[in-house]
Chains A and B, each alone.
Chain A
């Protein structure tokens, strides 16, 4: 099962390597990782989506993260009410005759065209897991040429 964890860390060089190293050394799988500075420039927030077979492994992951000296807090969103979002850019096949069909789909998911050429367009969309998944399914009809996703970020209610 996938779990979203956010880790607030000291904003120092090498901290990302410590976190990544911990996951690889202990054989935990990272599905996605998003890192950026927080309001306090001395700390960064890493949102990590991990694959954990069971509760015990999830517990170990949290404990091991907490053990790192540069880790300040660890928040597990599994049993917390929270919002999570992801941003993606998708390049699809696109010609002006698709305009009508595409606009309808994009409106439904509050997505938009960032740029287009005579045969392709880059779509920008942000949303929860379900929304992103459905939008991608809708876009498949046009033909997806390239896909980049930021990975999930989350905030507790």
Chain B
């Protein structure tokens, strides 16, 4: 078999059903093989979008997303998408073409040192120098990308390796001596944790993306209910605990709920599960959770004690460790007073917005929530739109809120919606977008229309790079330096691609437009003209303790 055939056969054996990508000179042999392979190929209009789509396919389905690009500019276009997946620990395989092996290092046409460039933004990467290694490398790449703390893995394949004829040998198993993730918590640590839990009074479960990865939502709920402990989650943890549950505190951090942040600050025991104490969550680190002991469950030892001091580290897979804890926990804490206090805070300082004035973005999202029965997959761009989407839609299941948290990549949401829709064709997929961000990958309208990937895009059009404008308003004396941004006529633009565009300027038009978008068998852009200077609140100013919130708990 040729290298190209070996690659495709290996992908098939790994269960790959779809590849997002873009062709070019150094992947011609691969594309020739793809021509009659039984793998769906989706031609995006930009390689960055291919990477985001593959990433979101992974996020939505838990299956491996795969993207493919040519050497040089194709590969460098992928990098933003690879870094996005890396920062959020999303499994993904990126395949790139490379110039012929004997030309590597010669500044050949469309050559770039892609393994060099992507070294700090991949979990691991490979330059395949011999076609005989290809099957093993694919096998390893899938294993590394999807196990332990997941992440993107890149395989760079010179064009002569794609052409080379060698025997296909599929390795029965993967053996990498330097790579052995730890999946079960140390029994001694579990015992210590159970003891600490039994005697606490104000516990908080602080949960994140690792719960989603691990499939631990059910076990988490069991533990929370058994302990009668409140649960708060990170942006990446959205959906891993039902937000309608009486123990839910919503998201914490910079734009979290006031009561979640206060709960952390008053807590005497924080149980962190698959969450990495990001600075958007902790605020001023030396003021974070002053009364709390911390139990930290994470599959990656380097996440533990990185930002804050941890009293009981437990390295292992969230689902397994929570299961071990459940078994060990014979005595549960008495938390009714604590829950009563929290109930009071919830009543006193709920998430809120002023309904009067122009069309409000929060209202738009509430209406999308109602119209979709809280059962859509929501992707977001970055900025205010992202925070409103996090705050105002009701999430109850993992893998239904797909957002670039760690890198904060504008332009993620639309191709992500595409990837999610390809993975979950039966679901309604909404991209909650900003007018700035949507213009960063708007070319994907063509991909959606051409491949009948019917996603819905709600543009919260405020005429601003709103999140940056908000900071300028609050911290730079309203000097709106280069944050007022224009765009095209989104309705006409959508129509010119063969999609559907709807403009909404009044409150009463919101619901009908959403209903129409859902009912339309096409990709739909809804251009919501919202209050231009609406802010996201509550908010922790940078460098403050998380209970010092603007519009927080009075």
Interface assignment of A95: CB less than 8 Å from any CB of chain B: no
| Chain A residue with the shortest CB-CB distance to B124 | A69
Q: Quick one: given A18-B119, A25-B120, are A71 and B302 in contact (CB under 8 Å)?
A: no
Interface assignment of B178: CB less than 8 Å from any CB of chain A: yes
User: Are B178 and A9 closer than 8 Å at their CB atoms?
Assistant: yes
Give 1 or 0 for each of B197-210: 1 = CB within 8 Å of chain A CB. 00000000000000
Which one, A27-35, A58-66, A109-117, A138-146, is touching chain B?
Answer: A58-66
Give 1 or 0 for each of B120-144: 1 = CB within 8 Å of chain A CB. 1001100100000000000000001
Nearest chain B CB to A74 CB, angstrom units: 10
Interface assignment of B177: CB less than 8 Å from any CB of chain A: yes
User: Are A66 and B301 closer than 8 Å at their CB atoms?
Assistant: yes
Contact of A67 among B119, B176, B177, B300 (CB under 8 A): B300
Task: Please report the total number of A residues contacting B with Cβ < 8 Å.
Answer: 19
Could you list 27 examples of A-B contacts with CB < 8 Å? A9-B178, A10-B178, A14-B115, A14-B119, A14-B127, A17-B116, A18-B119, A21-B120, A25-B120, A56-B305, A59-B305, A60-B302, A60-B306, A63-B301, A64-B302, A66-B301, A67-B300, A67-B302, A68-B178, A69-B124, A69-B144, A69-B176, A69-B178, A69-B179, A70-B178, A72-B177, A72-B178
**Chain B residues within an 8 Å CB radius of A59:** 305
| Chain B residue with the shortest CB-CB distance to A70 | B178
**Chain B residues within an 8 Å CB radius of A68:** 178
A39 to B123, CA, bound (A): 28
User: Are B127 and A71 closer than 8 Å at their CB atoms?
Assistant: no
Nearest chain A CB to B86 CB, angstrom units: 12
A67 to B300, CA, bound (A): 8
**Chain B residues within an 8 Å CB radius of A69:** 123-124, 144, 176, 178-179
A17 to B177, CA, bound (A): 20
Contact of A63 among B123, B176, B302 (CB under 8 A): B302
Nearest chain B CB to A151 CB, angstrom units: 23
**Chain A residues within an 8 Å CB radius of B301:** 63, 66
Known: A60-B302, A71-B178, A72-B178. 12 other contacts (CB 8 A): A14-B119, A14-B127, A17-B116, A17-B119, A18-B119, A21-B119, A60-B306, A67-B302, A69-B123, A69-B144, A69-B179, A70-B178
Nearest chain A CB to B180 CB, angstrom units: 10
| Chain A residue with the shortest CB-CB distance to B123 | A69
**Chain A residues within an 8 Å CB radius of B176:** 69
| Chain A residue with the shortest CB-CB distance to B120 | A25
A71 to B180, CA, bound (A): 11
Nearest chain B CB to A76 CB, angstrom units: 14
